[in-house]
């Protein structure tokens, strides 16, 4: 069983999203079905079919999020090995070819957000960086080919 390591804030956010889906959105879906049902013959009622399909998609979303929540674990970053790159590590890396420097934080798939410079540990760069230490060279296999990154710094937000 693979765990999904999350920050405490992200776990709380997901709990709120799930609660909203299970209460507010389920009621809306049921109301849409009831309204469509009132319009007559269900065999030729496109509104009813659309409402039922929307309800099915909602239930799938609830099921998927519930499964992710079951496997979610809040990681205490105070107990992590700060000498190497792990989940929740902030890293400064340099592309050895272009000399461009990048700052990222490695997070779980559920928390990944490139706009916030948060990349998933399961992404090609994330996988390549895991376990590396400052000064190490990480070989990263991307869809565009191999890339080399030098690990410049590692830090944590406690």
- Cβ–Cβ under 8 Å, residues 7 and 13: no
3-state secondary structure 11-57: HHHHHHHHHHHHHHHHHHHHHHHHHHHCCCCHHHCHHHHHHHHHHHH
Assign a CATH topology to domain 4-74. Helix Hairpins (1.10.287)
Spell 119-145 as b/e; 16+ CB within 10 A means b.
bbbebbbbebbbebeeeeebebeeeee
- pLDDT per residue, tens digit, the chain (158 aa), is 577 788 888 889 999 999 999 999 999 999 998 888 887 766 677 888 888 999 999 999 999 999 888 888 887 767 777 789 988 899 999 999 999 999 999 998 888 999 999 999 999 999 999 999 999 999 998 888 899 999 999 987 65
SS3 104: strand
Q: Check residue 1 and give its pLDDT.
A: 54
- By CB neighbour count within 10 A (0-12 exposed, 13-18 middle, 19+ buried), where does 108 fall? buried
Q: Which residues contact 78 (CB under 8 A, 6 or more apart)?
A: 158
CA distance 1 to 56: 27
Right CATH number for 77-155 from 3.10.50.30, 2.30.40.10, 3.40.630.40, 3.40.50.1820? 3.10.50.30
- 4-74 matches 77-155 in fold: no
What the block records as the tokens of 4 is 């999904």
Domain boundaries defined on the chain = 4-74, 77-155
The H-or-E segment that residue 117 falls in is none
CA distance 82 to 102: 19
């Amino acid at each position: 069983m693979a765990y999904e390591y999350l920050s405490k804030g992200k776990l709380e956010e997901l709990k709120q999203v799930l609660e909203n889906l299970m209460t507010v959105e389920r009621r809306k879906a049921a109301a849409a079905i009831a309204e469509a049902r009132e319009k007559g013959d269900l065999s030729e009622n496109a509104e009813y079919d659309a409402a039922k399909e929307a309800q099915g998609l909602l239930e799938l979303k609830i099921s998927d999020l519930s499964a992710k929540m079951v496997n979610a674990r809040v990681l205490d970053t105070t107990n992590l090995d700060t000498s190497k790159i792990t989940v929740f590590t902030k890293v400064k890396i340099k592309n050895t070819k272009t000399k461009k420097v990048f700052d990222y934080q490695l997070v779980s798939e559920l928390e990944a957000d490139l706009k916030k410079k948060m990349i998933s540990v399961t992404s090609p760069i994330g996988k390549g960086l895991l376990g590396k230490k400052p000064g190490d060279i990480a070989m990263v296999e991307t869809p565009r080919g191999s890339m080399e990154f030098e690990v410049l710094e590692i830090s944590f937000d406690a």
